[in-house]
């Protein structure tokens, strides 16, 4: 039995994209169009529609209609030194079928394959399943995901049968520029190695101009017959629903071999799909369709760029130049987050669906893509904007803490919404090896009521808190001796024994008058009274819930004047 690795990307998409009310920014197709929208894009309003309903629905042309193959050949001929024949095109049910067919026919036990990485998992998992050895040609963020052709010398072997590239790249959105493509072709030609170029995101170039000297042509136009190119109507053309892809190759022997193997799987592509694809690639439609999608990409990538810049303390990327995907790394305490747990948290709390890099691109293979997520940003702008806004409303909760409990969400989200309006700024304090940023929130009395809760709820006015200082932390009471702060709820100062009930999410704090209060709240505060005397907090607080480290005993912490707040949504624990 052939053993195939689980297809991480597709399984994740299948499992979560039907989540109720999901904001799907994991999808990598340009925002899909309907037949009506496609017709509306047609520049000739008198032109026939995409479907000829009088056609008898036989198998149709086995290799694809002459019209569709001619239009694809014309596209590949634009930057080529010699025109391409429609006989060099083979229509398939999507690029995924095209890639599989190429690998199935050309690769077997004893072969060696070099595959650019990260990339679509199919391109390296299928060769492995067929018994080939696969060497991954890694793209690095610090090099802007530009492939180092010199590394091919260290990867190539006498039995290297195939070099696989993906341009534009999924998931990074990087582009292999013309000079690099020329170097790859020269390397392969010298060794008589076939190249497979997955160009499913072509021609959705939005960060590099067609007049740029380094603008990447299709590999099929670079004068090397042992080049195979695959493409699709799904990504750049926004028509995933018609399941139409293709293989292009100038070597007639390769095309004939692939057509023969195809007889065992496909027979033909639906005539209806073929007609719609032909219509979309017609001169009356293609320019408006691509213009729409490139414009959408330019608008939306700017939104993602702002999101990354606004949260640069916890995430980084290389801005994509083409395609529909961005590859962003998120960190906590300087270390990559658990991207699977992170994406699930984001989905649960915001309904925004993103894809974990380790699931789709596999740090288990020895490369560190842990902490990376892929965002498909060429969806409808309103969807992307809403998803990013939901994530940004509580950036520290989602972007820093990763795992967080549902009961923490309300307060932290509330604090985050007020954060910009509060005076002061974040800074870091140390105590016995514990480092935490403090958000200075009260240089004026109104801020204290905002942060610590409604003044009515705890029976006092904001003015009473003007000299109070507090630290807020998520916690659980641990059984330790407790020395009470003077005061009882709502009464005159007195020695009221017993600790607040942390287990019940109670809220403890002292007022300037010396009164102590217990109030339902998932946060615990420690404070002093208006006399600014030293208050000892003789209990430990267990901060392990939600993945936050244990806070050692903090007896003897002194809190004077004003209010400073920190918590498991405001910053890092070290």
**Domain of residue 137, CATH code:** 3.40.640.10
CA distance 438 to 396: 13
pLDDT value of residue 398: 54
Of 242, 264, 286, which residue sits at a domain end?
264
The secondary structure of the chain in percent helix, strand, coil, rounded to multiples of 5, reads 35, 20, 50
E strand segments, 296-379: 315-317, 325-332, 335-336, 352-353, 355-356, 372-376
Strands 434-442 and 426-431: antiparallel
Higher-confidence position of 572 and 295: 295
Residues 422-441, mean pLDDT to the nearest whole number = 35
E strand segments, 501-562: 506-510, 516-520, 524-527
Higher-confidence position of 397 and 172: 172
Residue 72 pLDDT exceeds 80: yes
DSSP per-residue codes, 203-239: T-B-SS-TTSTTPPPPGGGSS-TTEEEEEESSSTTS-
Residues 137-143, mean pLDDT to the nearest whole number = 94
Residues 154-165, mean pLDDT to the nearest whole number = 98
- Torsions phi, psi for 550 (to 5 deg): -65, 135
Query: Is residue 394 situated within a structural domain?
Result: no
Query: Is residue 333 situated within a structural domain?
Result: no
Residues 470, 559 contacting (CB under 8 angstroms): yes
Q: Which residue range is the domain that position 175 belongs to?
A: 68-264
- Torsions phi, psi for 141 (to 5 deg): -60, -40
E strand segments, 460-559: 470-473, 506-510, 516-520, 524-527
Residue 482 pLDDT exceeds 90: no
Alpha helices by DSSP H, listed for 94-147, are 95-106, 122-129
Query: Is residue 51 situated within a structural domain?
Result: no
Burial of 414 (0-12, 13-18, 19+ CB in 10 A): middle
Residues 166, 99 contacting (CB under 8 angstroms): no
- Using DSSP, state whether 256 is helix, strand or coil: helix
Residue 465 pLDDT exceeds 50: no
pLDDT value of residue 258: 96
pLDDT value of residue 222: 93
* Least confident interval from 258-272, 400-414, 523-537: 523-537
Percent of the chain surpassing pLDDT 70 = 67
pLDDT value of residue 68: 98
Query: Is residue 385 situated within a structural domain?
Result: no
C-alpha distance from residue 277 to each of 34, 108, 185, 209 (Å): 12, 33, 30, 26
Residue 109 pLDDT exceeds 80: yes
Q: Provide the number of structural domains found in the chain.
A: 2
Query: Is residue 53 situated within a structural domain?
Result: no
pLDDT value of residue 17: 84
pLDDT tens for 298-318 read 999 999 999 999 999 999 999
339-357: burial string, b at 16+ Cβ within 10 Å, e else:
bbebbbbbbebbbbbbbbb
- Using DSSP, state whether 504 is helix, strand or coil: helix
* DSSP 8-state assignment for residue 363: G
Query: Is residue 373 situated within a structural domain?
Result: no
Residue 494 pLDDT exceeds 80: no
pLDDT tens for 384-397 read 999 999 998 754 45
459-496: burial string, b at 16+ Cβ within 10 Å, e else:
ebebebbbbbbbbbbbbebeeeeeebbbbbeeeeeeee
Q: Among 286, 266, 243, which residue's Cα sits nearest to residue 61?
A: 266
pLDDT value of residue 501: 35
pLDDT value of residue 399: 56
Query: Is residue 116 situated within a structural domain?
Result: yes
CA distance 504 to 158: 68
CA distance 429 to 435: 6
Residues 178-192, mean pLDDT to the nearest whole number = 98
pLDDT tens for 240-250 read 999 999 999 99
Contacts of 209 (CB under 8 A, 6+ apart): 215
Of 244, 264, 284, which residue sits at a domain end?
264
Residues 349, 265 contacting (CB under 8 angstroms): no
CA distance 310 to 436: 21
- pLDDT tier for residue 425 given thresholds of 50, 70 and 90: very low
For residue 163, what is the enclosing H or E element?
A: strand 160-166
Query: Is residue 15 situated within a structural domain?
Result: no
pTM: 0.70
The angle subtended at Cα 19 by Cα 15 and Cα 123, nearest 5°, is 35
pLDDT value of residue 463: 30
DSSP per-residue codes, 380-414: -HHHHHHHHHHHHHSHIIIIIT-S--HHHHHHHHH
Tokens at 560, concatenated: 């004077």
User: In the Cβ-directed half-sphere of 538, how many Cα atoms lie within 13 Å?
Assistant: 10
Higher-confidence position of 51 and 417: 51
* DSSP 8-state assignment for residue 547: G
Of 229, 264, 299, which residue sits at a domain end?
264
Residues 388, 307 contacting (CB under 8 angstroms): yes
Chain mean pLDDT for the chain: 75
Higher-confidence position of 348 and 296: 296
- Torsions phi, psi for 471 (to 5 deg): -120, 135
pLDDT tens for 432-451 read 333 333 333 222 222 222 22
Residue 253 pLDDT exceeds 50: yes
Residues 41, 285 contacting (CB under 8 angstroms): yes
Strands 160-166 and 112-117: parallel
Residues 322, 376 contacting (CB under 8 angstroms): no
C-alpha distance from residue 297 to each of 190, 303, 384 (Å): 38, 10, 11
């Amino acid at each position: 039995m052939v053993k195939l690795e689980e297809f991480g990307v597709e399984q994740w998409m299948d499992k979560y994209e039907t989540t109720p009310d999901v904001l799907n920014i994991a999808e990598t197709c340009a925002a899909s169009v309907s037949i009506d929208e496609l017709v509306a894009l047609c520049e000739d309003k008198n032109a026939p529609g995409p479907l000829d309903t009088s056609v008898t629905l036989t198998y149709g042309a086995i290799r694809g209609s002459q019209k569709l193959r001619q239009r694809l050949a014309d596209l590949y001929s634009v930057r080529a030194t010699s025109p391409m024949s429609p006989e060099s095109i083979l229509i398939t049910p999507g690029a995924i079928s095209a890639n599989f067919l190429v690998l199935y026919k050309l690769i077997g036990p004893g072969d060696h394959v070099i595959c650019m990485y990260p990339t679509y998992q199919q391109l390296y998992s299928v060769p492995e399943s067929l018994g080939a050895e696969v060497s991954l040609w890694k793209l690095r963020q610090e090099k802007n995901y530009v492939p180092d052709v010199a590394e091919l010398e260290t990867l190539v072997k006498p039995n290297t049968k195939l070099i696989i590239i993906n341009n534009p790249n999924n998931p990074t959105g990087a582009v292999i520029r013309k000079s690099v493509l020329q170097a790859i072709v020269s390397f392969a030609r010298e060794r008589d190695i076939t190249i497979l170029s997955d160009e499913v995101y072509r021609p959705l170039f939005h960060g590099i101009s067609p007049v740029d000297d380094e603008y990447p042509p299709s590999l099929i136009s670079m004068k090397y017959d042992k080049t195979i190119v695959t493409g699709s109507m799904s990504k750049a053309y926004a028509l995933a629903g018609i399941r139409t892809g293709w293989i292009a190759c100038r070597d007639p022997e390769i095309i004939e071999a692939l057509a023969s193997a195809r007889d065992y799987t496909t027979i033909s592509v639906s005539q209806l799909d073929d007609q719609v694809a032909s219509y979309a690639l017609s001169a009356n439609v293609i320019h408006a369709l691509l213009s729409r999608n490139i414009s959408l990409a330019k608008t939306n990538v700017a939104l993602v760029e702002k999101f990354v810049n606004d949260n640069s303390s916890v995430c980084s990327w290389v801005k994509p130049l083409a395609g529909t995907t961005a590859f962003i790394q998120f960190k906590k305490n300087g270390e990559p987050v658990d991207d699977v747990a992170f994406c699930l948290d984001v989905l649960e709390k915001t309904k925004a669906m993103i894809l974990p890099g380790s699931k789709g691109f596999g740090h288990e293979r020895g490369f560190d893509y842990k902490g990376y997520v892929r965002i498909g940003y060429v969806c409808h702008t309103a969807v992307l904007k809403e998803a990013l806004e939901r994530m940004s409303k509580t950036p520290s909760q989602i972007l820093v803490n990763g795992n967080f409990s549902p009961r923490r969400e309300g307060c932290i989200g509330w604090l985050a919404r007020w954060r910009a309006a509060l005076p002061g700024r974040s800074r870091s304090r140390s105590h016995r090896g514990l480092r935490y940023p403090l958000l200075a929130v009260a240089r004026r009395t109104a801020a204290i009521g905002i942060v610590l809760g409604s003044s009515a709820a705890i029976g006092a006015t904001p003015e009473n808190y003007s000299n109070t200082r507090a630290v807020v932390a998520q916690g659980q009471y641990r059984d330790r001796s407790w020395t009470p702060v003077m005061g009882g709820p709502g009464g005159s100062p007195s020695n009221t024994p017993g600790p607040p009930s942390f287990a019940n999410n109670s809220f403890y704090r002292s007022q300037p008058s010396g009164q102590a209060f217990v109030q339902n709240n998932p946060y615990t505060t420690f404070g002093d009274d208006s006399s600014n005397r030293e208050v000892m907090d003789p209990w430990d607080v267990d901060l392990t819930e939600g993945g936050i480290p244990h806070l050692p005993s903090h007896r003897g912490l002194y809190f004077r004047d004003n209010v400073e707040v920190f918590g498991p949504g405001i910053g890092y624990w070290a």
